[in-house]
Amino acid sequence: MTSTALRSRAWKLLEMVTTPLLPSDYLDLVSPLRAGADLRGRIEAVHPETGDAATIVIRPGRGWRGHTAGQYVRIGIDVDGVRLWRAYSLTSPTNRPDGRVTITVKAIPDGKVSNHLVRRAKPGTLIQLDQATGDFVLPQAKPAKVLYLTAGSGITPVMGMLRDTEFDDAVMIHSAPQPQDVIFRSELHDLVAAEKLRLTEVHTDIHGMLDIARLDELVPDWTERETWACGPAGLLDAAEKHWSEHGVPERLHTERFRPSIVATGDGGEVTFSTTGRTVDADGATPLLDVGEEAGVLMPSGCRMGICFGCVTPLKAGAVRDLRTGEITEAEPGVLIQTCVSAAAGPCDIER
Amino acid sequence: MTAIDPTAHLTAEQIEELGRELDAIRDEVIASRGEKDAAYIRKVIGAQRKLELASRAVLLFSLFPPAWVIGTAGLSVAKIMDNMEIGHNILHGQWDWMRDPKIHSTTWEWDHVSPADQWKHSHNELHHTYTNVIGKDNDLGYGIMRVDEDQKWHPFHLGQPLWNFINACFFEYGIAAYDLELGKNLHKRRRNNPEFRARAKAVGRKIRKQVLKDYVVHPLLSGPSFLPTLAATFTANLVRNIWSHSVIMCGHFPEGVQVFERRSIKGETRGQWYLRQMMGSANISGSKAMHFMTGNLSHQIEHHLFPDLPSNRYAEVAVKVRALFEKYELEYVTGPLPKQVFSAWRKVVRLSLPNKKPKAPVIVPEREKELVAA
C-alpha cells in the first residue's frame, strides 16, 4: 500500500472517531493555519498609508501557494459578525523573507469591508483566504519599456509589480485628488530619486482629470511601451479607446475594480432550490444580493464580476448579465456569476 | 374538560396590534445582531468540542471509577450542548446571518441519529408552522400518545406512560422514526416509495456511523477500558435523551397550554398566528445555567414566536414578551423544570384513560378561532 493510500485509510478511521464532525473541526481549534486546513490567514499588523488607506500584513496559512506580482486575493472577514468576501490586490513583493503578504485597502464610502479593514481591523484576527489569482501580471520576459497608468487605489497591483521587479525604463502617471491622497507616495518618490521610475502625479482636485490626449506630451514614446492601467472605469474606457485608435491595443493591460453596469431587465420569481426558498427579484438587483437577503448561503467574492468566486449553477429560467445585458438561459452545466447577474424572468438557482 | 377560550376577551384589532408589537421586538433584535452574538456561538461550539474531546480522553482510562464518572458526566453535558444550544438552534437558521458555511443550517450535522435535513423538515416546517394544531402538528404526542382531551382515545393509549418512558430513554431514535413518519410509511405500498426508501437509507447510514463511533470505535480505542467506555457512552446517550425529552415535553404539554382545531387556522392572520404560538407553548423558569442546558428552549414561548432569532437573545426578548402577555391579559405558562415535567407526565398518565366527562360542545368563536383548554 502506498503512503497516500495509508494516509487516506488513517483519515477515514479518524472520521469514524469524530463523526458527525470532521477531524479538521477539532484541528482548527488549535491550528487554523496548518497545512491541509481550509486556507486562512492571520492579520499581523495594520499600517496606515493615507487618511483613508491602510496596508494589512497577513500571515497566510501553510496551504498558501504564493502569488505573482499584480494579482489579487479574495479574503473573507467577519464584519459585525457577518462573513463578507472581497478581493484586494496584493502589494507585497513575491519573495518577502518572512512569508507574509500584504494587501492595501482604500476605504470607499459605505464600503463595509474596506472601512472595517482600514479603521477597525485588529492584529490577531483570523480571516479566510483564497489562492491569489488574476492575469494583470507581467509577462515571463521583462519588457524593456513599461508605462503604468493608474488612479486612486488602482496603484495597488502596480505597487506589487514595482516592489517585485527592477525595471530598466519605467514611467508612471498616477492620479489622486491631492498629494496626501497618493498611496505609497514616499516610496514612489524614493524610486524616482534612485532613478528607477519616472513619475507624473496628477492631482485632480487641482489639475482636473487626466486628459488622455496629454499622453503624447507626458510620455512621447507611449505607443512603444507595454502598459498596465488600473483605476476607475472612466480612465480605463478612455485608455482602451485611445490605444485602439492608435493601433496598439495589444500593448494595453487593464484591471477593473468595478464593473460598468449597463443593463437592467425584467426580474421575476427566483427559486433557490437547494434551500427551498423563493423570492421576488427585480431586474437590477444582483442575484447574489437577492439570495443573501433571503438568508441563503451564497458564495461570493469581489462582487464585481472578476473573481468568479460566486459562480453557481443556473437550473432553470434566464438571467441577464448586468454589465453587458446579455441573456443566459439555463442548460445543464451552465454556471452564472451571481454578483453581476439579475433575474430575467423566473429562474432557479442551485443554492 | 373546560371549553373556555382564554383569548376571547381580545378584539381582532387588538390581536393585530399585538402582532405589530411582536414584530417590533423581532426587528429590534435583528437590527442589533452582530459581533457579540457571533462570538457567543463560536465560543459555545469551541467549548463543546473541547469538553467532548477531554471527556473522551478521560474515558480512555474509564477502568478507574473516578475517570468513568468524570468522563461520563462530561460527555453527557457535551452531548446535551451539541443537541440543544448548538444543533437545534443552528438547524433553525438562527445563525445563518453570519454567512459562515461552518455554522449554517444547510451544512450543520449533529450528534443525533436523525439526519439534520429530515429533522429540519418535520420540526422547522411542520411543527413550527402548525404548532399544537390537532391532526397537523404531530409533535402533539409524536403520534404515539394522547396529550389532549380533544384527541381521540384508543385502547393503545392505555400503555402510553410506558411508551413515553421508552421514548424518553431512546429519544433520538424516536425522533428519527418520527421524522421518517415510520408508522405511516411502513404501510403496504408506501414502503416501496423510492423517496421514502432514500430517506430511510440516509437514517440507516447515520445510525450506523453514530453507533459505530459510540459503541465500537471509542471503546476499542480504550483497550482494556472497552466495557467501561461502552457503558459510559451508553449512559451519556441515555442522560442526553432523557434530558432533551424532558425539556421538550415542557414546551407544549404542561397544563394550561392550548391546542387548536384544524379549521381554526384557516385564513389565520399574522397576529393570530403569533397568538397561537403564545398560547400553545410553555416556558421553564430557572437560572442562566438551566437556560443554557435547555438550549434556551426554556424560553419556548419566545422561541415559538421567533424561531430564527439567535438563542442567546431569548432571555432579553422574554422580558418584553412577558410584558405583552400582561398587557393583553393572557396567561404566561411557566414554572421550574420539576414542576413542568411533573405536569406533563401527569397529563400523559391521565390521558392514557378515556375522558371522564362527555366531550364538551364545540365552540366556534366569532373569528372562527377555536381553542380548547386542556
Buried b (16+ CB within 10 A) or exposed e, B111-140: bbbbbbebbbebbbebbbebbbbbebbbbb
ipTM over 0.90 threshold: no
Domain A144-253 annotated CATH 3.30.70.260: no
Q: Is A216 on the interface with B (CB under 8 A)?
A: no
Residue A259 clears pLDDT 70, i.e. is over it: no
Model confidence, pTM? 0.90
- Of A6, A18, A20, the C-alpha closest to B217 is A18
Q: A266-347 has which CATH code?
A: 3.10.20.30
**Better pLDDT: A262 or B320:** B320
Q: Is A139 on the interface with B (CB under 8 A)?
A: no
Q: What is the pLDDT of residue B188?
A: 73
pLDDT band (50, 70, 90) for residue B366: very low
| pLDDT single digits (tens) A79-114 | 999 999 999 999 999 999 999 999 999 999 989 999
The domains of chain A are located at: 1-29, 34-131, 144-253, 266-347
| pLDDT single digits (tens) A270-329 | 999 988 899 999 999 999 999 998 989 998 877 877 777 888 999 999 999 998 888 999
User: Closest-CA residue in chain B for A85?
Assistant: B99
Determine whether the interchain pair A16/B212 forms a contact, defined as Cβ–Cβ distance below 8 Å.
yes
User: What is the distance between the alpha carbons of residues B121 and B44, in angstroms, rounded to a whole number?
Assistant: 25
User: Looking at the partner chain, which of B101, B206, B213 has a beta carbon nearest the beta carbon of A297?
Assistant: B101
Average pLDDT of every residue of chain A? 93
Distances (CA, A) of A306 to A260, B214, B352: 12, 47, 66
pLDDT band (50, 70, 90) for residue A260: low
Q: What is the pLDDT of residue A199?
A: 97
Q: In A, which residues are within 8 Å of B222 by CB distance?
A: none
Average pLDDT of every residue of chain B? 92
User: What is the distance between the alpha carbons of residues A162 and A201, in angstroms, rounded to a whole number?
Assistant: 16
User: Closest-CA residue in chain A for B113?
Assistant: A20
Q: In B, which residues are within 8 Å of A82 by CB distance?
A: 38, 97-99
Q: In A, which residues are within 8 Å of B93 by CB distance?
A: 295
User: Looking at the partner chain, which of A17, A83, A297 has a beta carbon nearest the beta carbon of B217?
Assistant: A17
Q: Is A331 on the interface with B (CB under 8 A)?
A: no
Residue B89 clears pLDDT 60, i.e. is over it: yes
| pLDDT single digits (tens) A49-87 | 999 999 999 999 999 999 999 999 999 999 999 999 999
Lowest mean pLDDT among A15-29, A279-293, A319-333, B267-281: A319-333
Intrachain domains A34-131 and A266-347 with the same fold:
no
Residue A192 clears pLDDT 50, i.e. is over it: yes
| pLDDT single digits (tens) B219-229 | 999 999 999 99
Q: Is A275 on the interface with B (CB under 8 A)?
A: yes
Distance to chain A for B98, nearest Cα, Å? 4
User: Closest-CA residue in chain A for B103?
Assistant: A297
Q: Is A329 on the interface with B (CB under 8 A)?
A: no
Give the H or E element holding residue A280. Answer: strand A277-283
Lowest mean pLDDT among B3-12, B261-270, B352-361: B352-361
Q: What is the pLDDT of residue B368?
A: 46
Determine whether the interchain pair B100/A78 forms a contact, defined as Cβ–Cβ distance below 8 Å.
yes
Other Cβ atoms within 10 Å of A128 Cβ, number: 18
Residue B363 clears pLDDT 70, i.e. is over it: no
Distance to chain A for B80, nearest Cα, Å? 15
**Which CATH architecture does the domain made up of A34-131 adopt?**
Beta Barrel (2.40)
Distance to chain B for A158, nearest Cα, Å? 32
| pLDDT single digits (tens) B162-219 | 999 999 999 999 999 999 988 888 877 788 889 999 999 999 999 999 999 999 999 9
Determine whether the interchain pair A20/B97 forms a contact, defined as Cβ–Cβ distance below 8 Å.
no
Residue B1 clears pLDDT 50, i.e. is over it: no
- Of B114, B106, B122, the C-alpha closest to B204 is B114
Determine whether the interchain pair A20/B96 forms a contact, defined as Cβ–Cβ distance below 8 Å.
no
Residue A232 three-state SS:
coil
